[in-house]
Amino acid sequence: MSQGNAVKTTENEAAGENRISAFVKREIGRVLALGSLVAIFIFFTIMRPVFASWQNVSGGILMSTTVIGLLAIGTTFVIITGGIDLSIGTATALVAIIVGKTVQALSLNVWAGILVGLIVGGIFGMINGLLITMLKLPPFIATLAMMKAAQGLALIISDLKPILFTTDVKGWDEIAQGNIIPKIPNGVLILFVGAIIAAILLNKTVIGRYTFAIGSNEAATKLSGVNVNKWLIAIYGIGGVYVGLAAVVLTSRLGSARPDLGLGYELEAIAAVIIGGTSLLGGKGTISGTVIGALIMAVLVNGLRILELQQEWQYVITGIVIVLAVWGDNVRRRRSGEVS
């Protein structure tokens, strides 16, 4: 009897161990990314202890990553489908300008203003999706065109001037800078809540499942009876909603809507997604990886600034990190036989 139990326990233990090793094996990409984030963090802390102060971490690192982080989270969906969205940077500026103008013209309150941002962003993303599915433009081309169009429209609508609307709306600056939870700026809270919602959408819902399916094999997904066009439009729409959220957070942080900001954000967001281990070929990717990727970039920029390295060098180092991250991932996959 007791012997039987003992055998059973060992079996269970073995099963448990297998589960842990399987987990580590499956999640090795993210474990490594998280490991590098921690390593970089420790490095800067040793160099300059002030780096690890909560003030620097929340105000300097986390707060500065909210906009790029939100854009990256939204565009992770698009990249997992095997697509790309180059328009998210200038679209952030366009949505910010439209929100500013609308809030001013209609004297909207803060909640209505946020809603306008999300809706306009979502529509903008769905237009990308329509161009890709209905006109059959490659995502690169469609979103390149939308990037230029958004840049121009932002300048036209704003008449080249920043829109100072935030002081007229009670609570607008609180969106990013308030503290619902003590010591944690709301912008940071929005980033993490946004990430959790995205992770649930991606892993637990139908649209997330189709996101992976389309990225794995669009033709097979279509022949399986899935209305791929409809879902692609919705997925680009999700990317757009996160653009809207990023735009709202940006205006709250800056205290205005500026038509000239945004260009270049798309590449930083895409870099964060790639560093986070999402494949540009589609079919693979995680939200947590993207968040880690965005944090690695923010930590680097902040740390190098604290080390008083010239900003030019920060760009060079970001480039090197992208190469190392993707190369390291390739080596790991080849070793584990995932790719030949």
Partner 1 sequence: MATTQLLSLTGVSKEFPGVKALDNVSFDLNKGEVHAIVGENGAGKSTLMKILSGIYKKDAGKINYQGNQVNVSSPIEAQRLGISIIHQELNLMPDLTVAQNIFIGREERRRGRVFLNNSKLNSSARELLAELELSLDPSDRVGDLTIAKQQMVEIAKAVSYRGEVIIMDEPTSSLTPAETDSLFKIIRTLKAAGKGVVYISHRLEELNKITDRITVLRDGEYVKTLNTSETTIPEVISLMVGRKVGQDQRPDPRPLSNEVVLSVEGMSNQNLLRDVSFELRKGEILGFAGLMGAGRTELARALIGADPKTAGKVTLRGKEIKISNPSDAVNAGIGYLSEDRKKYGLLLIQNLTFNTILSSIPAFSNKFGFLKIKPAGAMVRESIKQLSIRTPSENQYVKNLSGGNQQKVVIAKWLTRDCDILIFDEPTRGIDVGAKDEIYKLLTKLASEGKSIIMISSELPEILRMSDRIAVMCEGKLTGIIDNKDADQNKIMQYATKFRD
The b/e string for 263-293 (b: 16+ C-beta within 10 A; e otherwise) is bebbebbbbbbbbbbbbeebbbbbbbbbbbb
Member of 9, 12, 21, 205 binding partner 1 (CB under 8 A): 205
If binding is defined by CB under 8 A, does position 225 make contact with partner 1? yes
If binding is defined by CB under 8 A, does position 207 make contact with partner 1? yes
Tokens for 288, please give them.
Answer: 């947590």
If binding is defined by CB under 8 A, does position 227 make contact with partner 1? yes
Task: State the Cα torsion 170-187-67-46 to the nearest 10°.
Answer: 140
Smallest gap from Cβ 19 to partner 1, in A, equals: 12
Residues 247-266 that bind partner 1 (CB under 8 A): none
Smallest gap from Cβ 224 to partner 1, in A, equals: 4
Is 105 or 219 the residue whose CB approaches partner 1 more closely?
Answer: 219
Return the residue matching tokens 């790991």: 332
Member of 78, 169, 195, 213 binding partner 1 (CB under 8 A): 213
If binding is defined by CB under 8 A, does position 222 make contact with partner 1? yes
Smallest gap from Cβ 133 to partner 1, in A, equals: 12
Residues 72-91 that bind partner 1 (CB under 8 A): none
Smallest gap from Cβ 214 to partner 1, in A, equals: 9
Q: Mind giving me the DSSP string for 93-158?
A: HHHHHHHHHHHHHHT--HHHHHHHHHHHHHHHHHHHHHHHHTS---HHHHHHHHHHHHHHHHHHHH
Is 129 or 303 the residue whose CB approaches partner 1 more closely?
Answer: 129
Output Rg (C-alpha) for the chain, integer angstroms: 22
Closest listed residue to residue 131, CA positions, set 101, 99, 161, 86: 86
CA atoms of 320 and 176, how far apart (whole Å): 31
Tokens for 203, please give them.
Answer: 């892993």
Angle, nearest 10°, between helix axes 228-254 and 206-216?
110
Question: Near partner 1 by CB under 8 A, which window of 2-10, 65-73, 188-196, 221-229?
Answer: 221-229
If binding is defined by CB under 8 A, does position 204 make contact with partner 1? yes
- Count CB atoms within 10 A of the CB of residue 156: 12
CB 188 within 8 A of CB 62: yes
CA atoms of 33 and 64, how far apart (whole Å): 20
Member of 180, 223, 320, 331 binding partner 1 (CB under 8 A): 223
Member of 284, 305, 332, 333 binding partner 1 (CB under 8 A): 284
If binding is defined by CB under 8 A, does position 330 make contact with partner 1? no
Q: How many residues bind partner 1 (CB under 8 A)?
A: 22
If binding is defined by CB under 8 A, does position 209 make contact with partner 1? yes
φ, ψ dihedrals at 61, nearest 5°: -90, -60
If binding is defined by CB under 8 A, does position 219 make contact with partner 1? yes
CA atoms of 254 and 214, how far apart (whole Å): 38
If binding is defined by CB under 8 A, does position 280 make contact with partner 1? no
Question: Near partner 1 by CB under 8 A, which window of 59-67, 171-179, 186-194, 200-208?
Answer: 200-208
Please give the residue ranges that form the binding site for partner 1 (CB under 8 A): 204-207, 209-210, 212-213, 216-217, 219-227, 283-284, 337
